[in-house]
Amino acid sequence: MTTEITHPKHELLRDERFPHIWCPGCGLGIVLQSYINAIEKSSTSIEDNVLVSGIGCTARLPGYTNLDTYHTTHGRAIAFATGMKIANPSLKVTVISGDGDLFNIGGNHFIHAARRNMDLTVICVNNFNYGMTGGQHGSTTPTSSKSASTPYGNIEASFNLPYIAAALGASFVARWTVMHPRQFTKSIQKALDVRGFSFIEVLSPCPPNFGKLNGFVDGFAEMEFYRKYSVVNEKANLEDIWIDPHHGKEIVLGEFVNRKKPSYLMREEELINSLKGVKQ
């Protein structure tokens, strides 16, 4: 007699897809667990949740979740999710993708979704490089960091993602690392309940690329770095919370923005109601 073994989260996971393809020491397993835990604890039903991604290591995450999921073209996850939310406002639409997909290839879509305060939850897994295509540098690669395309160190300034999101008008903005899964999970829960644009940055190791080239012998070493240098300061000046792993600068974490303001769909609803009054 054989006993069928199922994953304790089998209702939210596609058991048949495991084991996953991510590298040893990668933080994406923690991101996946935090996301499904947040859905379990949230006020939304599983059936109403939709997960969208683009291209990259992080973008493989929807393939493991037992939800309605969409794997879109490179950089277009937010645009696709926006159309879906407008077409069916009752859905709880989340985008989870990497820094390369969301802020390099898809940066323009992020800007305008935040500006509109579009009713989406966007989670950016930031591993500071294009992890799937060989470890090239991008807009989030810290200055002086080495990558496959900056072997002598990156000379460009990097994006400060929470600062950008807050400046563009997002309703909810947070940053955590995969070393902080409980806080990260709670922030996802809050983000799912926000009417408007919610953004969470989560820092995650990329052991074979960014990690190897920048002195981290494995994923655990980078996690230890997060433990040592991370501080929670939700009243920090967002302009100053850029990341510099090479000079002992603290990594500032927390929920920085949580404000109520009209979302895109709220404004759309107001417009439709006003037009109905005009027609009458």
DSSP string, 30-82: HHHHHHHHHHHHSSS-GGGEEEEE-SSSGGGGGGGBSSEEEE-STT-HHHHHH
Cα–Cα distance between 14 and 62 in angstroms, integer?
10
Q: Confirm whether 126 is domain-assigned.
A: yes
Q: Confirm whether 233 is domain-assigned.
A: yes
Q: Confirm whether 6 is domain-assigned.
A: no
* pLDDT tens per residue across all 280 residues of the chain: 556 667 777 788 898 888 899 999 999 999 999 999 999 998 888 899 999 999 999 999 999 999 999 999 999 999 999 999 999 999 999 999 999 999 999 999 999 999 999 999 999 999 999 999 999 999 999 999 999 999 999 999 999 999 999 999 999 999 999 999 999 999 999 999 999 999 999 999 999 999 999 999 999 999 999 999 999 999 999 999 999 888 778 999 999 999 999 999 999 999 999 898 766 5
Q: Confirm whether 1 is domain-assigned.
A: no
Residue-range definition of the domain harbouring residue 169: 15-279
pLDDT of 2: 57
Backbone angles phi, psi at 229, to 5 degrees: -105, -5
In the beta sheet, which residues pair with residue 68?
Answer: 50
Q: How far is CA 179 from CA 26, 118, 163, 202, in A?
A: 12, 29, 21, 9
Q: How far is CA 93 from CA 43, 53, 123, 199, in A?
A: 14, 11, 11, 13
pLDDT of 15: 86
Q: Confirm whether 25 is domain-assigned.
A: yes
Q: Confirm whether 4 is domain-assigned.
A: no
pLDDT of 247: 79
Indicate the number of domains in the chain. Answer: 1
Cα–Cα distance between 125 and 104 in angstroms, integer?
13
Q: Confirm whether 231 is domain-assigned.
A: yes
pLDDT of 197: 98
* Look-up of token digits 């005009």: 278
CB 141, CB 150: distance < 8 Å = yes
CATH code (residue 241): 3.40.50.970
Cα–Cα distance between 228 and 248 in angstroms, integer?
10
pLDDT of 4: 65
